[in-house]
Amino acid sequence: MGFSSNAVLAKARSMYSHRMTPAKYEELIHKGSVAEIVSFLKNEPSYQDVLEEIKETNVHRGRIESLLNEQAFIETTKMLRYVPKKKQEFYKLSVIKEEIHLIIDKVRLIDSEVNDSYDLNIPSYLAQCASFDLYGLIAIDDYATLCQYMKRTPFYKVLKKNIPEDGEKVDINIMEYDFKKAYYDHVVGVIKKEFKGKKQKDLLTIVYTEIELENISKIYRLKKYFNVTEEQIRGCLITDYCRLSDSMMDMLIKAKDAEDMLKKLSSSSYKFYVDEKDFVYIEYYAEKIKYHLAKRYMRFSTDPSLVYMTYAIVHRIEINNLIHIIEGIRYGESAERIKAMLIY
């Protein structure tokens, strides 16, 4: 293991040591206001810098959440400085994901009848490490110009595929699927190119689990909230990297409703339980499985790439926990209700 690998590992371990503990979560969920939460987080090493500008006397919930999301990105990209340029492709995967989100936001604005297409919010922290000039997106006000602007980027292929017919709007759902599929194809390709043996296997386990959990959540939501056909469900799934058997996937897709789908799922390696009296959304269970898998690798692995990937997952879930707490306090939820939504 080289110096840079040791540095990445040490940095990730150091940042992980400052994570929120159960005792800290317990204290936070009993705070009386968002201002009190901000005051608490300002004394935490992981959050004091990003929240420094916030005055407790003038707290805007949306601004706090935006800064926490910024912190999640900055925290994981801090490790890039320890990685040689020729090995940074794997460590920049999170940048690509954020770029995709921004491009989709731009398409939504172009198609919107309410918002101005120039109202694109470009995070300065992302612009500093993006693969193209993000600020060039602002002046674009039609889809054809967007495609032309993105022609020399890896994102052009998906944009070109989704060019709408004359007078039609872009189907955002299809575009999001195409971008997600392209993103995961890229992630898997980078891992297979850069890593071998057990290291590759462990990294792919993390990625394949994430994809599979997204598929399960998608099937559940479609059955619970939409009247869709089996073929429409299949068209929304990324099945190239699915480890559930074809027969199990077929059974889940053919389930008569969401509850039946969960019963069938209980006979697989994933077991989702829903308390009918206390509604807990399916993403909670998916995130919980992902969190505990990542946490196990984070604690016991000595491989810097695996620790980096799993730290990013664990820290992202911590940020989501804090956002749940802020929203819960803001809307007067009980401490018990807020706690039920946290993953740690």
Q: Is residue 252 part of a domain?
A: yes
For residues 93 and 185, state if they share a domain: yes
Mean predicted confidence (pLDDT) in 49-53? 91
Instruction: Name the token pair of 268.
Output: 């697989």
State the pLDDT at residue 278.
41
Q: Is residue 36 part of a domain?
A: no
State the pLDDT at residue 279.
43
Residues 6 or more apart whose Cβ sits within 8 Å of residue 274: 259, 262, 280, 282
Q: Is residue 240 part of a domain?
A: yes
Give the helix ranges, DSSP H, for the chain: 3-16, 22-29, 34-41, 61-77, 93-111, 124-127, 143-149, 156-161, 172-194, 197-225, 230-234, 246-254, 258-265, 282-300, 304-330, 335-340
CB–CB of 29/338 below 8 Å? yes
Distance CA 204, CA 192 (A): 8
Q: Is residue 329 part of a domain?
A: no
Q: Is residue 10 part of a domain?
A: no
State the pLDDT at residue 263.
87
- SS3 sequence of 160-209: HHCCCCCCCCCCHHHHHHHHHHHHHHHHHHHHHHHCCHHHHHHHHHHHHH
Domain of residue 135: give its range.
Answer: 83-194
Distance CA 185, CA 244 (A): 18
Q: Is residue 335 part of a domain?
A: no
Instruction: Name the token pair of 294.
Output: 């990542």
- As a whole number, the mean pLDDT across the chain is 92
Reported as a pLDDT band with limits 50, 70 and 90, residue 216 is very high
Distance CA 273, CA 39 (A): 36
For residues 259 and 219, state if they share a domain: yes
For residues 87 and 184, state if they share a domain: yes
For residues 235 and 200, state if they share a domain: yes
End-to-end CA distance of the chain: 31
Domain edge (last residue) among 170, 194, 218: 194
How many other C-beta atoms lie within 10 A of the C-beta of residue 205? 14
Say whether pLDDT at 185 is over 80. Answer: yes
Q: Is residue 176 part of a domain?
A: yes
| Angle, CA 19 vertex, CA 80 and CA 270 arms, to 5° | 90
For residues 105 and 148, state if they share a domain: yes
For residues 97 and 187, state if they share a domain: yes
Q: How many domains does the chain have?
A: 2
Mean predicted confidence (pLDDT) in 15-20? 94
State the pLDDT at residue 2.
58
What's the predicted TM-score (pTM) here? 0.91
For residues 200 and 184, state if they share a domain: no
CB–CB of 203/211 below 8 Å? no
Kindly report, residue by residue over 268-280, the tens digit of the pLDDT.
888 765 544 444 5
Mean predicted confidence (pLDDT) in 236-255? 94
Say whether pLDDT at 28 is over 50. Answer: yes
For residues 223 and 188, state if they share a domain: no
CB–CB of 219/237 below 8 Å? yes
Say whether pLDDT at 179 is over 80. Answer: yes
Residues 6 or more apart whose Cβ sits within 8 Å of residue 177: 235, 236, 238
Q: Is residue 182 part of a domain?
A: yes
Say whether pLDDT at 26 is over 60. Answer: yes
For residues 92 and 188, state if they share a domain: yes
For residues 97 and 181, state if they share a domain: yes
Reported as a pLDDT band with limits 50, 70 and 90, residue 3 is low
Mean predicted confidence (pLDDT) in 297-318? 94
For residues 179 and 220, state if they share a domain: no
Say whether pLDDT at 6 is over 60. Answer: yes
Distance CA 46, CA 63 (A): 17
Kindly report, residue by residue over 98-148, the tens digit of the pLDDT.
999 999 999 999 999 777 777 899 999 999 999 999 999 999 999 999 999
How many other C-beta atoms lie within 10 A of the C-beta of residue 183? 19
State the pLDDT at residue 1.
53
* Distances, alpha carbon 154 to alpha carbons 91, 99, 141, in Å: 17, 11, 21
Domain edge (last residue) among 179, 194, 209: 194
Domain edge (last residue) among 273, 306, 331: 273
